Structure 1
Amino acid sequence: MIQQHIKDGTTMQITILGFNIFAKGGTSRSNINLIKAFLKNEHTVNYFNYKKFDQAQKDLLIQEEDLANNSVDIFYLNNLKQLAKTQLLIITREAFFKYSRLIKKYNPKIKIVGEIHGPLKYITEDIDLSLDTIDCVRVSTKSIKSDFIKRFNYKNVFNQYVNTEHIPIDKITKNTHKHFLIKSRFEDEVKDISYAIKLFNYIIKNKNTINIRLNIIGYGPSETLYKNLVNYYNLNKYVYINGYQPQNYIYISTSPYETLGYSIIESIFKGNRALIYGGDDGLLKEIYQSYHCTEFLTKDIEKDCEILLAFAQKNYNDKERIEDCEMLQEKFNYKNYAETYLKNIDIAINSKEVRFNSNYKLAVARKSKLKKDKNEVTLKERARQCYQCIRKVFHVIHRPFYLRKLNKIKPSKKYVFIECFHGKSFSDDPKYIAHAIRRLYPEKEIFVSSVNALVDMEIRENGFIPTRLSSDDYVNKFRRSKYIFINGNAIDKVYKHRNQVFVETWHGLPMKKMVNDLNNKKERMIQLKNFLPRMKKWDYLLVSSDLNKKLFESAFQTSKNPKLNILNYGAPRNTYLLKNNTLEEQNRIKLKYLFKLSDKKKYILYCPTWRRNERETITNIDIEKLIDYLPTEYDIIIKLHPNEGALRKCYSHINERVHCFFNELVDIQELYLISECIITDYSSTIFDYAHLNKPIILLQEDEELYQKETGYYFNIFDYGSFTIGSKNEELLAQQIVEHESVDYSRLINLLMTNDSTDSCEKILKEIFEI
């Protein structure tokens, strides 16, 4: 069909399906340019938009893009039958490929092209590409084509860059040593703009370079994250979000994966230079490494600091620009984009004809599901308003149906799920188990729960995949994972599949009584009632000693879970302390939290435990007075409990020598390594920190009340010598400075007997290799 049109020079009826052509972004630009290319060759084009729009948006787009042409129209998609009334359908979003099955039923003669705009890495197993009813697939590069064929065993693939006719190639070089630009959708999980902000923070703090500016232009869900980071790092004079866009700039791209990077190519076409992360797959380096106007980041912040500063000082000359223009013209400017596109389709289709079997099981794209998908779009606003009202009733009535749906998701040994403090941070035992799994069992894929974008950022920085707590994606990934490592209890809505393995690490060795052992009888009964059903899901519980085991057995009533295995191999979080107490690691941590190195600075860590009753301050000690009494080389780091992160506002700006970080970004094990001593009360931090044999000051301001309401398992002074902190700021400062040598060997031998450098290996061997 297509070959005949090419041969005869006749026009075609072409339909394009996209998500939202009215939004700014690379795919929208690609769709607009594709429409223009077909119109240039006098084809008729109908574009269908998945997202609703109004007439004003349509009129503005037609005016701005000069699309006032009788051969093109833009429609809202409200029925899939609309897409079948054409000769050629081009689907420009991978999640929509599944619609091809039903469309082929309506019109078996239609030819359907699927365009891959996202990196292959982001095409997960739950996305149904329906390649049995897609006639061919377009990708941008030869290497993506090769990877696609290999991964999906599908050969009807052609590679062709998106149309760049809208950008004239400017032959004039544009040099700047000051201005940097990012123009992108604010979606940090795929763009990693947070890395660029952290890079500028490092440069400003460590290189005495103040004559640089980063302008970030865009929109999207991560805008709040970027504004928070700019404020957190005090970069308001250097980093601007949605301010002005300079004409001369160096473009920065930090995305882990891209298929081309529209903003990169636009910047290069205009004569600007680009500083690019080559991609975890190396694809962007493959595309852009031949140009004089590009340099590549490494995602090592110290190296990238030097790369950026050197590149900024370098001049881009006329000879280099002429050579770059010639390469750009040859690589990206097609003589006739539409004709090349149609010829590539014809070649790809003829390489292996796709046959549609009308009896084929419709799988994910069953007709009923497709109708449901569209109903969700058309009723979206109304459904959102009603959702909260009917949620409780729905849960009761539909619980059996919900469980049946969940049980259709089969757990796989390939997947591991990690949760720390219900997604409030990425730390504690689950974090170090995740790192050990990646090192020892690299074939496993690891998902980590998160409550917000800050935690997402930390998870990605550690090389793992975040998923938002309680979301559909969370439930899906949780239920797909055979192994669940968690330091609290799983949320109830995910339940537990009979083939899943729950590994409970808990979050510290207790000094204060818990659950079944609480002194307050009423509180004890409430907690026990809620706790026991969740505890019965556990398959393994990690402990560090026989005494630790005994305390947990009493607190959690583990005898009521006969299938529970208690593994006495030590705490993975303390494996990290025992293996990494080095100057190199301490320097890394100081750069992470304090952004610069100083041999003179001494850090005091204050980490009180949580109080059940909401409070406005964590201590009666006046922190400002305390810091004034301490010598100038001393700084205080306040580490808040995960349940009291909101109190950060009380301490983050009281003095430049007092640091209170976002809880979401903090791993307290790291802070232990850079601290001269800790000040705490009834917290389990005592036991972990004892491994470092550095002073521990106990500041217990409500001891009598705490003893009455909660109680202690033992007298901590029976296990070691601890300084009792003064409630007077001047005396407390003296205690910090004039501390004596300490020895916590008795405490370690009795309570952390089995903490070792190979705890993770022992635990994982027991769980994975049974």
Structure 2
Amino acid sequence: MRINILGYNIFSKGGTSRSNINLIKTFLEKGHIVQYFNSQPFEDSDITRLIIHEDISSANFTIFSSQYEAKLSTGDILIITREDIFKYSRIIKQHNKEIKIVGEIHGPLEYINDEIDLALDSIDCIRVSTESIKKKFQEKYNYDAVFNKYVNAQHIDINCKPANTKRNLLIKSRFEDGIKDISYVIKLINYIKKNTYKTDIQLYIVGYGPSENLYKNLVAYYNLQDNVHINEKEPLNYVYVSTSPYETLGYSILETIGIGNQALIYAGNDNVLKEIYEKYHGISFLTKHFQKDSEKLIAVLDGKYTKAQRNEDIENLKLDFTNENYADDYLKKISKMKVKQAKEHKLPIYKFKKKRTHVNKIQKLDRKRDLYEQLKKTAMFKLLLNNNIFFNRMKKMYNFRKERLERKLMEGIEPDSNKVFIESFHGNNFSGDPKFLALKIKEQYKNKKIYVSSVNSLVDIEVRNAGLIPIRFGSTIYKKIFRSCKYVFMNGNSLDKVYKHKNQVFIQTWHGFPLKKMVNDLGDKKEKQLQLNKFIPRMKKWDYLITASNLNTLLLKSAFKLEKNENLTVLELGSPRNEYLINHNTETEWLRIQRKYLFTNDKNIKYVLYCPTWRQGERESLTQIDLIELLNQLPKNYKIIVKLHPNEARLRNKYNALDARIHCFYNEFVDIQELYILCAAMITDYSSTIFDYAHLNKPIFLLQEDNSQYKQDVGFYFDINEVGRFPEAALNETKLASQLTRVGAIDYSQMISRLMKNDKSDSSENILKYIFTDNIEKSG
């Protein structure tokens, strides 16, 4: 039988390449003629290395470029092993109506982009890994011609002897945290080191990819340099660790079992790996709960993988993965599937070419920019660039052309009512009202896909932990996704270069109850006009504004000149961020938060939150209070958490280095509402954090170090001391320590009723019900 295989790049490392090689070998062993077609460019030397390394020299085996579509179409069976090239099956069917085409799904279904054309009208059958994936595929795509069969694993050498280790862990993986979640394992090591006797535990991480800097930063952040080793020599005996949210098999897991080592793996959000590996003694399962996983991991390290257990695992390995009849079984399953006929009226024969689109033009423009970056280092270009007129004209031309192309690209994207975009603080972290609305949408509107703006990989971690999809702020994909979402929830203004579609709905939550004067209410007339000119065009995009009371609305109306937006609907339904405080001020939540930020559980610790507002200009110290001396005056179970404004994040290392009892976290990791629940008291100045924290009736101490000057420069809407009791924080460390230990709960309920009376336990539900129902009625 003539079997053709179309793959992406058999010469690169990875599970799909290994699967292709094994598939080729098993067909050749049965006497079939195999032609492999590579989508990526390659050299003759690549073929030579592959044949030598894999020992697949055969007169029945040839490698071609995928551009040879006539050869690709000549055969009995074509197996396509990458989802985004399934579409070429239509071309092949035009050449050969009788060829049977198999599409192999190697990635998790959850990672198959909705925009990928799977060409199921010309694919005759689909191979997936497990029975559960088969059922999900059939249901998701309404396509029945699916069979399940593991990939061939004949390359695995089985070692009869079980291996044991007391401290070594290994991860071998591509460094792509959104898919592999290696960051969780680094955090788990931190938890184990802080809370157990296994302080000598060693984690070896081997691989490459875009998340390498993230992992190095996390190792430094948690001071794990003696415990976590990136791309160092791996140990001989180890416990393999995998925490990917989704896998279809996991070759590294399989190889680990083969050589006799044990593995600790996350079953997957879809439970697929448990379906495959539950019967193996050498496999234990993680839950992504620090305490439970630390106990499981230590039990594996302290336990013993016995000879009897190893023998059972070997039998299961042979049964599941080293079947000598793999090729025959594979072809037997295919034979049961009918061949689909090409639909000639739908698609003419065409070459493997990329269609010119606005996206291609943008990429071409960016390549010219990259060329410019190289040329500007030459002597001739240095002379030209010294000419400001030439430089500015070229820059202006580039920006104009790119913006025009992006606008044309955006015009072709229609918003989808089942897509939601979330942006908290321009993607600088995942918190505030947009976060809690996103979580409520995920809980109650399961048909909606939720994307979240993120500035970096640290924010990505928080977004993924919530089960949502991070999108890099300002990127090309950001602009496309943003435009495709009908509903956009944000607590600041949207990016100017993202153009609002007429059918999009912008929901503005803002980011705090106003105390300091803003925009239209500023005393400096020049600054006021400057801010108004920028703010009003952005505000006019809003369709809804969420507030906590009529007084809240009044202040925002004054600050933002809301009357300029005739289409704006103000919903005085309360703040979702404070709904969280109302509903979750419990011991269970307190312990979860302590575990999340401090990697420990100790009910005896008391945390004090120091939360200063931002000042214009740079400063090297947040306060004249000596925090180390303050700690010396406080009981030993007191600790201080410094919450920096994002504009002062550069001070994080300084405050972390002061004392082991002072904590200053990455802002990207912080949801301040969680810190409110964790901390027994707060020290602040003119921050709107006052009004959120007051929902908990915990003491709030006001620093008055520059009150008069700040009042003169910026101004306040009202005197905070007229609406509630706020003890003035003593500037003497001994006196302040006395205040923190002596002052107990303060009742702020009257202030809440006066300023934020609509903050309720069901604010999120009411907001979403109104917005989604209102827009169904408008569109209907």
Q: TM-score, normalised by structure 1?
A: 0.91
Question: Structure 1 residues 715, 457: CA separation in 2 closer, same or farther (over 3 Å shift)?
Answer: same
Q: 1:499 Cα shift?
A: 1.7
What is aligned with 1:568?
Answer: 572
Look up the match of 1:470. Answer: 474
The aligned residue for residue 717 of structure 1 is: 721
Aligned-residue offset at 1:78: 6.6
Alignment of 1:85-104 (within 5 A): 88-104=77-93
User: 1:80 & 1:602 partners in 2: Cα distance?
Assistant: 70
Corresponding position of 2:590: 586
| Contact in 2 for aligned 1:182/1:251 (Cα 8 Å) | yes
Q: Which residue of 1 aligns with 2:423?
A: 419
Range moving further from structure 2, 210-219 or 633-642: 210-219
Residues 638-653 of structure 1 mapped to structure 2, 5 A cutoff: 638-653=642-657
Shift of 1:66: 3.3
CA deviations on 1:205-256 (whole Å, 9 max, x unpaired) are 2222224322222211122222222222222222222222222222222112
1:542 counterpart (524, 535, 546): 546
The amino acid across from 1:200 in the alignment is I
Residue 184 (structure 1) shift: 1.4
Greater shift, 503-512 or 268-277, is seen at 268-277
Q: 1:769 aligns with which of 765, 769, 773?
A: 773
Match of 1:447 among 438, 451, 462: 451
Q: Distance in 2 between matches of 1:361 and 1:611?
A: 63
Q: What's the counterpart of residue 597 of structure 1?
A: 601
Match of 2:309 among 320, 326, 330: 320
8 A contact 1:176–1:250 mirrored in 2: yes
CA deviations on 1:683-734 (whole Å, 9 max, x unpaired) are 1001111112222122244434433432211121221232333444444444
Cα pair distance change 1:197/1:477, threshold 3 Å? same
What secondary structure is seen at the aligned counterpart in 1 of 2:580? Answer: helix
User: 2:107 aligns to what?
Assistant: 118
Q: Is the 8 A contact 1:95 1:127 kept in 2?
A: yes
Once residues 41 and 284 of structure 1 are traced to their aligned partners in structure 2, the CA distance between those partners, rounded to angstroms, is: 30
1:448-475: CA deviation from partner (whole Å, max 9, x where unpaired): 1111111111111122222222234323
Partner of 2:4: 14
Q: 2:125 aligns with which of 136, 139, 142?
A: 136
Match of 1:385 in 2: 370
1:126, distance to aligned residue in structure 2 (A): 1.3
Deviation by residue 1:130-153 (Cα, 9 ceiling, x = unmatched): 112223322122332232222222
- Following superposition of structure 1 onto structure 2, how do residues 208-357 of structure 1 map, counting pairs within 5 Å? 208-348=197-337, 350=338, 353-357=339-343
Q: In the TM superposition, what is the alpha-carbon distance from 1:567 to its structure 2 partner?
A: 1.0
Cα distance, 1:83 vs structure 2: 4.8
CA-to-partner distance for each residue in 1:476-520, whole Å, 9 max, x for gaps? 332232211111111123221222211101010111111111222
Q: Take 2:109 and 2:273, find their aligned partners in 1: how far apart are those partners?
A: 14
Give the superposition deviation at 1:761. Answer: 2.0
**What is the CA distance between 1:630 and its match in structure 2?**
3.2
Aligned in 2, Cα 1:598/1:159: closer, same or farther, shift over 3 Å? closer
Residues 565-595 of structure 1: per-residue CA shift (max 9 Å, x gap): 1111111111111111111111111111111
Deviates more, 1:697-706 or 1:43-52: 43-52
Question: Cα gap change, 1:589/1:398 in structure 2, threshold over 3 Å: closer, same or farther?
Answer: closer
Letter in 1 for 2:7: L
Of 346, 352, 357, which aligns to 1:360?
Answer: 346
- CA change 1:624–1:136 in 2 (3 A) is same
Deviation at 1:59, TM superposition (A): 5.2
Alignment-derived partner of residue 694 in structure 2: 690
Moved more, 650-659 or 225-234: 225-234
Q: Distance in 2 between matches of 1:141 and 1:160?
A: 6
CA–CA distance in structure 1, aligned partners of residues 152 and 443 of structure 2: 42
Could you list the per-position Cα deviations for residues 269-305 of structure 1 after superposition, in whole angstroms to 9, with x for gaps in the alignment? Answer: 1112222222211111111112222222222332222
Equivalent residues of 1:101, 1:362 under 8 A apart: no
Among 142, 160, 167, which residue is 2:156 paired with? 167
Q: CA deviation at 1:665?
A: 0.9
Which secondary structure state, in structure 1, belongs to the residue aligned with residue 497 of structure 2? helix
Query: Which structure 2 residues correspond to residues 515-534 of structure 1 after superposition, within 5 A?
Result: 515-534=519-538
Q: CA, structure 1 residues 485+323, in 2 after alignment: closer, same or farther (shift >3 Å)? A: same
C-alpha contact (below 8 Å) 2:698/2:744 kept by paired residues: no
Contact 1:552 1:558 in 2 (8 A): yes
Report the identity percentage.
52
Tell me if structure 2 keeps the 8 A contact 1:78–1:374: no
**Quick check: 246-255 or 500-509, which moved more?**
246-255
C-alpha separation in 1, matches of 2:59 and 2:395: 48
Taking structure 1 as reference, are residues 336 and 688 closer, same or farther at Cα in structure 2, changes over 3 Å only? same
What SS does the corresponding residue of 1:138 show, helix, strand or coil? strand
SS in 2 for 1:587: helix
Q: Is 2:7–2:38's contact at 8 Å kept on the other side of the alignment?
A: yes
1:757 aligns with 2:764: no
**CA distance in 2: counterparts of 1:495 and 1:676, whole angstroms:** 44
1:41 deviates by 4.4
Q: What letter corresponds to residue 199 of structure 1 in structure 2?
A: L
Cα deviation code 1:733-754 (max 9, x no counterpart) = 4443444663433422221121
Alpha-carbon shift at residue 14 of structure 1 (Å) = 2.5
Do 2:365 and 2:402's aligned partners in 1 also have CA atoms closer than 8 Å?
no
Contact 2:520/2:561 (8 A) holds in 1: yes
Q: CA–CA distance in 1 between the matches of 2:362 and 2:753? A: 61
Matches of 1:59 and 1:424 in 2, distance apart? 49
The CA distance in 2 between the partners of 1:81 and 1:683, in whole Å, is 69
Residue 649 of structure 2 aligns to which amino acid in structure 1?
Answer: G
- Please give the alpha-carbon distance, in whole angstroms, between the structure 1 residues aligned to 2:64 and 2:682: 64
1:180 aligned partner = 169
The answer to whether the 8 Å contact 1:16/1:45 transfers is: no
Structure 1 pair 750/235, CA: closer, same or farther in 2 (3 Å)?
same
| Partner Cα distance (2:661, 2:312) in 1 | 53
Contact 1:489 1:535 (C-alpha < 8 Å) held by counterparts: yes
Task: Give the superposition deviation at 1:605.
Answer: 0.6
2:453–2:470 CA contact under 8 A, matched in 1:
yes
Any gaps of 5 or more consecutive residues in structure 1?
Answer: 6-11
Q: Distance in 1 between matches of 2:527 and 2:61?
A: 69
CA gap 1:571/1:13 in 2 versus in 1, 3 angstroms: closer
Cα gap change, 1:205 to 1:475, in 2 (>3 Å): same
- Look up the SS of the partner of 1:672 in the other structure: helix
Instruction: Determine if the alignment matches structure 1 residue 498 to structure 2 residue 483.
Output: no
Q: Which residue is 2:181 aligned to?
A: 192
Query: How many angstroms apart in 1 are the aligned matches of 2:471 and 2:544?
Result: 24
Verify the 8 A CA contact 1:516 1:554 in the aligned structure 2: yes
Cα 1:340/1:599, change in 2 over 3 Å: closer
User: 2:93, 2:341 within 8 Å by CA — same for their partners in 1?
Assistant: no
Distance 1:289 1:242 in 2: 30
Mean alpha-carbon deviation: is it higher for 461-470 or for 667-676?
A: 461-470
Q: Structure 2 matches for 1:388-403, cutoff 5 A?
A: 393=397, 396-397=400-401, 402-403=406-407
Which of structure 1's runs of 4+ aligned residues deviate more than 6 A?
Answer: 78-82, 365-368, 371-381, 387-391
Contact 1:14/1:43 (CA < 8 Å) preserved in 2? Answer: no
Deviation at 1:377, TM superposition (A): 13
CA distance in 1, matches of 2:497, 2:555: 29
CA distance in 2 between partners of 1:724 and 1:481 (Å) = 46
- CA apart distance, 1:317: 1.8
Match of 1:8 in 2: none
* Residue equivalent to 1:434: 438
Aligned equivalents of 1:25, 1:229: Cα separation in 2: 26
Number of the residue aligned with 2:617:
613
Kept in 2: contact 1:520–1:708 (CA 8 A): no
Q: CA deviation at 1:165?
A: 1.1
